Amino acid sequence: MDIANRVAVVTGASRGIGAGLVAGYRRLGFRVVATSRSIAPSNDEHVLAIAGDIRDRATALKVVQAAKERFGRVDTLVNNAGVFVAKPFIEYTQEDFDAVAGTNVSGPFYITQVVLAELLSQRSGHIVNITAALVDQPLASVPAGLAALSKGGLNALTKSLAIEVARRGVRVNAVAPGIIRTPMHAPATHDFLAKLMPVGRMGEVQDVVDAVLYLESASFVTGEIVHVDGGEAAGVG
Mean pLDDT to the nearest integer, 206-222: 98
* Helix (H/G/I), strand (E/B), else coil: 25: helix
Tell me: domain 3-225, CATH 2.40.160.20, correct?
no
Q: What are phi and psi of 233, to 5 degrees?
A: -65, -20
Q: Using alpha carbons only, what angle is made at residue 39 by residues 146 and 77, rounded to the nearest 5 degrees?
A: 60
User: Is 237 a residue whose pLDDT tops 60?
Assistant: no
The amino acid sitting at 134 is L
Question: Where are the domains positioned within the chain?
Answer: 3-225
How many separate helices (H) and strands (E) can be counted in the chain?
A: 7, 7
User: Is 235 a residue whose pLDDT tops 80?
Assistant: no
Q: Which of 81, 112, 85, 108 is nearest to 96 (CA)?
A: 85
User: How does DSSP classify residue 94?
Assistant: H
Q: Which of 114, 135, 136, 133 is nearest to 125 (CA)?
A: 114
pLDDT digits (tens, 9 = 90+) for 160-211: 999 999 999 999 999 999 888 887 788 888 888 888 888 988 889 999 999 9
Half-sphere exposure of 119 (CA within 13 A, CB side): 27
**Structure confidence at residue 140 (pLDDT):** 85
- The helix (H) or strand (E) run that includes residue 221 is none
User: Is 13 a residue whose pLDDT tops 60?
Assistant: yes
**Structure confidence at residue 2 (pLDDT):** 63
User: Is 96 a residue whose pLDDT tops 80?
Assistant: yes
Mean pLDDT to the nearest integer, 66-74: 97
The C-alpha atoms of residue 147 and residue 24 are separated, in whole angstroms, by: 26
**77 close to 8: Cβ distance less than 8 angstroms:** yes
pLDDT digits (tens, 9 = 90+) for 38-52: 999 999 999 999 999
